[in-house]
Amino acid sequence: MPVKAIPVVGSVLRNGVGAFVHPCKRITLRFCNWGGSSKGMRELLRTQLKDIAAKDPKIEFNVLQESGHPVIQGEYTNGVKKTICVRNKNPTEILEKLTFIKDCGGTKLKKYKRAVESTNESVRGVWSPFHVEKEYRFKI
């Protein structure tokens, strides 16, 4: 057979092309029933937990009672866990942190050096010195 099929080395799975699957799969809200640093968290859980969970049915919410500072932990589909300590924070501030955990993609924060990063090959192609018109070529 003149044409042979060979194994592909790098095939990329792009979330958001075709369908988007929300990367945050589970959020655990940890609070202490006694400690003063959990006061805001306790209030949030008492008053707003139902609304928060109902608003995002695609995320599994767990509430954990444990001694220590209150903590919000998000688990993502790429296996990363992000944890934020929300000690001595009021419900509004905690809600901000919760939104951050919820909307995160689960990747490590990094500085993007280019305006566009893509897995696609450049449409223009690699620059080649041979395809420049003769009069514009660099001459020694």
Partner 1 sequence: MRRVLGPWQFLRKQSSYLEAHTRVRGRPIQLSIAEKVPRIRALQHRLQLNDIPADALARSLIDGTSTLDYVNNTGLSRFGRTLLSFYALRHFMIKYPRLPSHVLKHLVHQYTSMPALAEHAKLWGIQPDNRSSLGRYLSGEEDTDGLGFLSYSDKIQEVEPGIQKIQSGSAVTSLTDAMGGCVRAIVASVYAHRGLELVEQFVSQYIIEPRQVDLTQIMAFSKPTRELSVLCAREGMEPPVSRLLAESGRFSSQAVFVAGVFSGDMKLGEGQGTSLNEARTRAAVNALQGWYLFSPKVSNYVDAGEVVI
Q: What is the dihedral of CA 103, 107, 108, 114, to 10 degrees?
A: -100
Task: Give yes or no for residue 54 binding partner 1 (CB under 8 A).
Answer: no
Q: Binding marks (x or -) toward partner 1, 120..139, rule CB under 8 A?
A: xx------xxxx--------
From candidates 33, 36, 58, 117, binder to partner 1 by CB under 8 A:
58
Dihedral-angle region of residue 65 (phi above 0 means left; psi in -120 to 50 means alpha; beta otherwise): beta
Half-sphere exposure of 119 (CA within 13 A, CB side): 7
CA 27 – CA 58 distance, rounded (Å) = 11
From candidates 35, 48, 59, 80, binder to partner 1 by CB under 8 A:
59
Query: Is 98 within 8 Å of 72 (Cβ atoms)?
Result: yes
From candidates 60, 66, 96, 103, binder to partner 1 by CB under 8 A:
60
Task: Give yes or no for residue 19 binding partner 1 (CB under 8 A).
Answer: yes
Binding site for partner 1 (CB under 8 A): 1-6, 8-19, 21-22, 25-26, 57-62, 77-79, 119-121, 128-131
